[in-house]
Structure 1
Amino acid sequence: MYKPLVYVQNDLLDLGIDNTPHIIRIDGYEVEAWLAEFADFGNSQSPDARYNSIFSNRDPGSDGAFYSLWGWYPGKNYIDITFSNSSTVQYPYRAFARWNDILNWTGIADGRDFYNTIVLNPDYIPVETDSIISEPVPTSTAGPDYGNAHHIHDKRATRTRSMRVGTVTSSTRPSSTPTGDVQLIYFNAPFMRHRVGPFVQDLNAIVGGYFLNDTLGTAVIDISSFAAEDENALYQMPGFQQALYAFFDEVRRRESKKLIIDVRGNGGGIIALGFELYKQLFPAAPANSYYRFRAHEAAQIFAATAEAVATDNATEAQMRLIDTQGFEAVDDPASRAIRRAVNSGFSRQNVLDVRGNKPEDLKTFIGPYSLRGAVNDSVSLLVETNLNFSFGDADISGFGVLANFTDTPQPFAIPDILLLSDGTCASTCTIFAELLKREQANISTIVMGGRPNDSPSPHVGGVHGSRVLSYANLLQDTIDVVNIAPPENDEDAKYFAENLPLSLPFGFSYANINFRDAIRPEDPTQTPLQFILEPADCRLYFSPIGYSDSIYLWGELSEFKWGTRSNFTGCAVGGLQKGQASTGEVPPDPETMDIVNWITQGLNP
């Protein structure tokens, strides 16, 4: 097997591969072994995805964890790099504080000051406003969110937007498309990553649509995140939706035959955008994505509070006002409190069970339902988000006022679609990839890079949960609970203190809890998907030009999959052509397998 080599990026790009020595040792250790151990500081489920994430990346632009890793202290001031020409270069480590304007930096001159004044001081915990009851930013300007899945690339701003749930009964609700001078999409404009701009992109540069100059008629959707880089970005859903409409209109005009979907580096973002892309690819297909959460005491308290605020009558009344009069009619504090309760993740108002019905009451929704055996735990009902609900100001294609979109012709046949990944696909990206797998099982997948071995590698290797809450969210939710239903006696106060996240013993809140497990209803083991790694059909390694030029890489992959002129002679592992089978099973990570076994043993047959 060809073994990929490790280079210093600037040397490789400046001198070319023939004139650049490769790295053979780091701090005296064999380079691959050192990097594999260092990669374990990453947060992807797949060891190959963690390995990829330490390298710099040209698409999307990233310096890589080797260059900059948050929260890691190497224990020394220098690192020694030894090259194949026997030279050794010493590089210094440098430490930087991640600026947070919520904190008071007065008097902070060095690392010791930062640690003593901020890290060890609970008074410096920044409390976010994304909570059950707190007032949100106006949905009429911020745009919808429909919830936020998680990865390190997710944008904090997306946690302040709305999740739509319920059933639209009228088509008179005002359009979500901004009026006035707002330009939602751009044609043939510079893009942030490539040497040429895409044919079309949204105003926030979340997605770019390309058409390759080849004989196969290949189109490309490049989407390295499902959220904007700017945490204050507006119109993310409308812009994304309109860019895809324009792209697929051009696909039909040009009669493009092949499609590559590039999700390299995609750590997730706004859940609705994942569903939107899927529905524009497969307008008539179902879009079911099921989840549940642990129904421990804190979850039950949060759910009961959401139920008390967002009752059936109050929620339905607000839906009617939105559908007939728009969001301006529900901009009072009480109405905003209802929306926050529904969007909290602990409400039954915006969910459907596996039969397509809203849970009839809180008990049906929260249970708790017991898992017994090696695992003794309690979980909520298995549900999915009701995408027909009207608590957002833009509908997903195929739902709500856009229900007729299901009549739109499917732009590409399944065998003519290729999903390209580097394994770091996480959160919303995993929801999108899971929809492709469950509903469109024959779509081919390629994963790039990974550890230099001959093992299969997953194209979805990031955190495969369904939604997260930040610890700051949980702290604020607790404040809301106490404000709505304060403890009436010492016993109640003790119960809250024992079961709610009232505080942390140190001044740090940039932590996230994956509180919803993605579950396949047909899986008899009901194993959460974050404990399942499934192989890509084909694993490939980068060449220098493929690493530095995505457009070149797309052209090579199109020829490799559908043509005859590719420089790729075959997959490093697996295959795509001539009926070659998938790569088999991904070698299990021992720690992950211990957790999976612990879960499955607890399920009753």
Structure 2
Amino acid sequence: MKNDNIRLMRALEAYFQWHSTTDYLKNPPKTYTLPGIDLEERMRDIISKLESNSYKNQYEFEAELSSMTTQAHDGHLGATLRSWAVFRWYREEIGPLASISLNGKDLPQIFAMSKYVPFFSTAQRSLNGGLGDLNSTNSGFQPSPIVTIDGEDSVKWLEAMSLNSELQDRDAMYNNQFYAPSLDTSSGNFARPFEHPGAITTIGFKNGTERQYKNAAFLRDSFEGITDGVSFYKTFAELPPKDFRQQPSEVVRRGITRPSTAVMDPKSIEDYRSKSPKPISNCTLEICGYFLDKHPDTAVLAIARFMNGDELLTFMSAFSDFVTKFLAACKTAGKKKLIIDVTGNGGGLLLLAYDLLKQIFPTVDLTDLSEVRAIDQLDLTGSKVMSLLTSNKTSSEVRKNATETMFNLDLYWGEDGKKFSNWTNYFGPEVHSGFNFTKASYYDLNSTAIIGLHSGFSVAGYGNRPHPPPAVFAVDNVVLLSNGVCISACGSLATQITKHGVRTITVGGRPREGTIQAIGGVLGSQAITFEDINTWVKLIYETSTPEEQQRYSKTLLGRIHDDQAFLRYRLEAGVINYRNAIDYDDPSRIPRQFKYYPSTFRLWMTKEMLFDTSAIWNGVAEHVWG
């Protein structure tokens, strides 16, 4: 067990070296509102503790590993162990909480919300007995706010707990503790915590009542044959006796999607839409459009995420086609104002965010700069891949595989609008804030390489779609609505659309006055899984001479090559942020991940909004346009 864990950590050192914000995290810029973390030092510290037998048990080690990645507050960074992901935790009896202002003007208070999220059964909801239950049908009932949790002030308790989050903004973290009525409905991290919450949660109400509520654990995997800690470790953590590298067919391919708090089932979507205006066309779990009854000149485009599990071209084409038809319907109906609702948006495919932006504002500039951490692994891999692409001796199969990597320079324009002449010209490195990065670049959306990577899909305005229809809405008549939980591709959409002049409005946040951000999720522009890195390493090893392979073996690439099969069995998920998004007009090149982008407007959630999403949109329309 000890040796396996040390091997695991040394392998993670190699993968995490690719993470783009590692250097900035050690001493973050002043615009970053969270503590920093030295990931490299923490990994060395964990290895040292393993070597000295400082951990009391396996759980303590895994908890520290989980804490380390969480403290980076980056939804594109993680290494979730299979054994860590076996259990799911729920505050089942108390259920989700809600943060609402009773009149829309006063600071919000915390209430128990014992209805509406499909996961919680009627019997479980009834345990609240109406205490703080916002949805009580008793006309004389006055809900009582929650003032303490486990003996502490409820707001302070939730603020502290919210720090255990992949988000990078404190108000978004706070919002993420609560039930969120959106297309991608979430019960919140209070109800579904990432880590073991203990057996009991004690809730104190303002009316003086105090109650204890049982917490629950659910098994995601079968416990057949597991009788104790030894058998648990053997099943979920221990390597099988055969050498994985010699037996690749026996490697269990684990999913790489990080655990989510979202409740995505037909019932939640049905409940959400039953409280909304009638959709104007057939919606999906990812996107839907509405016309407001109370504000006849206003349309709403609600976007939960920019991805699903369908075949890539099918999904991207359907998503883009929905936007096209929605905008055409808005024009036909004479709509003048548009609310883009990205509340709880979990991100996804960057090119779909670009496509949405280009359809709404066809003249928008998509010079969306990014850069990559200039490490030896990148240089070795990129130079080898480019040599394969430029050699006339490369087989068609290898050329195809090399073309579909991030090292194909045909994917990019340089900051000067020109192509990179060779790998050295791209790699640099350039030094920003004392750290090495590649030259800044942005995607060439007309490139056959980028279109090929997306199964033939072209962004509106590029490729085989060079002339999108004129804009339906003026910039001043578009607003972006968020609760701060706007992640990855959503963050790219938000930063680009605000640069074009669109205003933002954010709902909720910590109960205090002042501005908050519309974007509280990761602002890195590309996540890369460990399996992606494994594919790159496999490609360069299989196409290299023995001398080159020996050179690789003395680097961290060699460690990845030797340990990738081992990690496939140990890890549930592994991901790093590959590319920093940077602002074109900022010579400091500080990544967007560490910047503060204040929202134009702020709105408190009310009870009406909690149970009727059109009330949120009506509130936005009135707040922004009067």
Q: Same fold (TM over 0.5)?
A: yes
1:154–1:268 contact (8 Å) kept in structure 2: no
Mapped pair 1:468 → 2:586: no
Mapped pair 1:79 → 2:201: yes
Residues 372-414 of structure 1 deviation map (CA, whole Å, 9 limit, x = unaligned): xxx5432111001111123132211100111122xx2211011
Residues 124-146 of structure 1 deviation map (CA, whole Å, 9 limit, x = unaligned): 9755799xxxxxxxxxxxxxxxx
| Correspondence 1:146-295 to 2 at 5 A | 193-195=272-274, 196=276, 197-201=278-282, 204-228=284-308, 230=309, 235-295=314-374
Hey, what's the Cα distance between the residues in 1 that align with 2:522 and 2:622?
31
Deviation at 1:521, TM superposition (A): 2.4
Q: Which residue number corresponds to residue 50 of structure 2? A: none
Q: Which residue number corresponds to residue 8 of structure 1? A: 112
1:54–1:64 contact (8 Å) kept in structure 2: yes
Q: Which residue number corresponds to residue 56 of structure 1? A: 179
Q: Which residue number corresponds to residue 303 of structure 1? A: 382
C-alpha change, 1:106 and 1:364, in structure 2 (3 Å) is farther
2:505–2:620 contact (8 Å) kept in structure 1: no
Hey, what's the Cα distance between the residues in 1 that align with 2:214 and 2:251?
32
2:303–2:341 contact (8 Å) kept in structure 1: yes
Hey, what's the Cα distance between the residues in 1 that align with 2:322 and 2:137?
39
Match of 1:537, as an amino acid? Answer: T
C-alpha change, 1:89 and 1:120, in structure 2 (3 Å) is farther
1:154–1:227 contact (8 Å) kept in structure 2: no
Q: Which residue number corresponds to residue 378 of structure 1? A: 436
C-alpha change, 1:401 and 1:458, in structure 2 (3 Å) is same
Choose which of 8, 19, 28 in structure 1 pairs with 2:151.
28
Deviation at 1:369, TM superposition (A): 2.7
Segment drifting more, 524-533 vs 233-242: 233-242
C-alpha change, 1:110 and 1:561, in structure 2 (3 Å) is farther
C-alpha change, 1:125 and 1:306, in structure 2 (3 Å) is same
Match of 1:200, as an amino acid? Answer: S
Choose which of 540, 551, 554 in structure 2 pairs with 1:492.
551
Match of 1:350, as an amino acid? Answer: L
Hey, what's the Cα distance between the residues in 1 that align with 2:493 and 2:436?
28
Choose which of 579, 601, 608 in structure 2 pairs with 1:545.
608
1:151–1:427 contact (8 Å) kept in structure 2: no
The residue matched to 2:272 in structure 1 has which SS?
A: coil
The TM-score, its normalising length taken from structure 1, stands at 0.72
Hey, what's the Cα distance between the residues in 1 that align with 2:393 and 2:292?
52
Q: Which residue number corresponds to residue 402 of structure 1? A: 465
Hey, what's the Cα distance between the residues in 2 that align with 1:84 and 1:432?
41
1:291–1:519 contact (8 Å) kept in structure 2: yes
Match of 1:471, as an amino acid? Answer: F
Aligned length: 477
Choose which of 584, 587, 593 in structure 2 pairs with 1:524.
587
Deviation at 1:245, TM superposition (A): 1.2
Match of 1:342, as an amino acid? Answer: T
Deviation at 1:152, TM superposition (A): 6.3
Residues 277-319 of structure 1 deviation map (CA, whole Å, 9 limit, x = unaligned): 100111122212110101101111221233134338799xxxx
1:153–1:268 contact (8 Å) kept in structure 2: no
1:472–1:510 contact (8 Å) kept in structure 2: no
Q: Which residue number corresponds to residue 431 of structure 1? A: 492
1:152–1:267 contact (8 Å) kept in structure 2: no
Match of 1:14, as an amino acid? Answer: S
C-alpha change, 1:480 and 1:15, in structure 2 (3 Å) is farther
| Correspondence 1:83-98 to 2 at 5 A | 83-98=205-220
2:111–2:145 contact (8 Å) kept in structure 1: yes
C-alpha change, 1:539 and 1:489, in structure 2 (3 Å) is closer
Hey, what's the Cα distance between the residues in 2 that align with 1:193 and 1:336?
48
Q: Which residue number corresponds to residue 347 of structure 1? A: 408
Hey, what's the Cα distance between the residues in 1 that align with 2:231 and 2:441?
47
Q: Which residue number corresponds to residue 513 of structure 2? A: 454
Hey, what's the Cα distance between the residues in 2 that align with 1:447 and 1:437?
13
C-alpha change, 1:307 and 1:498, in structure 2 (3 Å) is closer
Q: Which residue number corresponds to residue 185 of structure 1? A: none
1:206–1:225 contact (8 Å) kept in structure 2: yes
The residue matched to 2:498 in structure 1 has which SS?
A: helix
Deviation at 1:452, TM superposition (A): 0.9
Deviation at 1:237, TM superposition (A): 0.9
C-alpha change, 1:418 and 1:347, in structure 2 (3 Å) is same
C-alpha change, 1:431 and 1:106, in structure 2 (3 Å) is same
Mapped pair 1:19 → 2:99: no
Residues 101-138 of structure 1 deviation map (CA, whole Å, 9 limit, x = unaligned): xxx976346776444432354869755799xxxxxxxx
1:446–1:539 contact (8 Å) kept in structure 2: yes
C-alpha change, 1:336 and 1:451, in structure 2 (3 Å) is farther
Residues 52-106 of structure 1 deviation map (CA, whole Å, 9 limit, x = unaligned): 1121222121121111133x123x321111112222222222233445xxxx976
2:285–2:304 contact (8 Å) kept in structure 1: no
C-alpha change, 1:480 and 1:106, in structure 2 (3 Å) is farther
C-alpha change, 1:15 and 1:501, in structure 2 (3 Å) is farther
1:125–1:509 contact (8 Å) kept in structure 2: no
Segment drifting more, 248-257 vs 375-384: 375-384
Residues 347-391 of structure 1 deviation map (CA, whole Å, 9 limit, x = unaligned): 2121111222221111111223334xxx54321110011111231
Match of 2:442, as an amino acid? Answer: E
The residue matched to 1:62 in structure 2 has which SS?
A: coil
| Aligned alpha-carbon RMSD (Å) | 3.0
Deviation at 1:242, TM superposition (A): 1.0
Match of 1:453, as an amino acid? Answer: R
Match of 2:443, as an amino acid? Answer: T
Deviation at 1:13, TM superposition (A): 1.9
The residue matched to 2:554 in structure 1 has which SS?
A: helix
Structure 2's unaligned 5+ residue stretches are 1-104, 115-132, 245-249, 263-268
C-alpha change, 1:113 and 1:453, in structure 2 (3 Å) is farther
1:266–1:429 contact (8 Å) kept in structure 2: yes
C-alpha change, 1:526 and 1:314, in structure 2 (3 Å) is farther
The residue matched to 1:501 in structure 2 has which SS?
A: helix
Match of 2:587, as an amino acid? Answer: P
Question: Percent of pairs identical after alignment?
Answer: 26
Residues 502-522 of structure 1 deviation map (CA, whole Å, 9 limit, x = unaligned): 437861251321110001122
Structure 1's unaligned 5+ residue stretches are 131-149, 156-189, 316-333, 564-605
C-alpha change, 1:553 and 1:154, in structure 2 (3 Å) is closer
The residue matched to 2:602 in structure 1 has which SS?
A: strand
Hey, what's the Cα distance between the residues in 2 that align with 1:154 and 1:234?
27
C-alpha change, 1:272 and 1:498, in structure 2 (3 Å) is closer
Hey, what's the Cα distance between the residues in 2 that align with 1:308 and 1:465?
28
1:192–1:205 contact (8 Å) kept in structure 2: no
Residues 460-511 of structure 1 deviation map (CA, whole Å, 9 limit, x = unaligned): 1111001011223323432333222265388525423466534378612513
The residue matched to 1:51 in structure 2 has which SS?
A: helix
Q: Which residue number corresponds to residue 414 of structure 1? A: 475
C-alpha change, 1:14 and 1:62, in structure 2 (3 Å) is same
Match of 2:547, as an amino acid? Answer: E
1:463–1:530 contact (8 Å) kept in structure 2: yes
1:218–1:260 contact (8 Å) kept in structure 2: yes
Match of 2:385, as an amino acid? Answer: A
Hey, what's the Cα distance between the residues in 2 that align with 1:154 and 1:83?
26
Choose which of 332, 345, 359 in structure 1 pairs with 2:420.
359
Hey, what's the Cα distance between the residues in 2 that align with 1:347 and 1:249?
37
Hey, what's the Cα distance between the residues in 2 that align with 1:154 and 1:268?
14
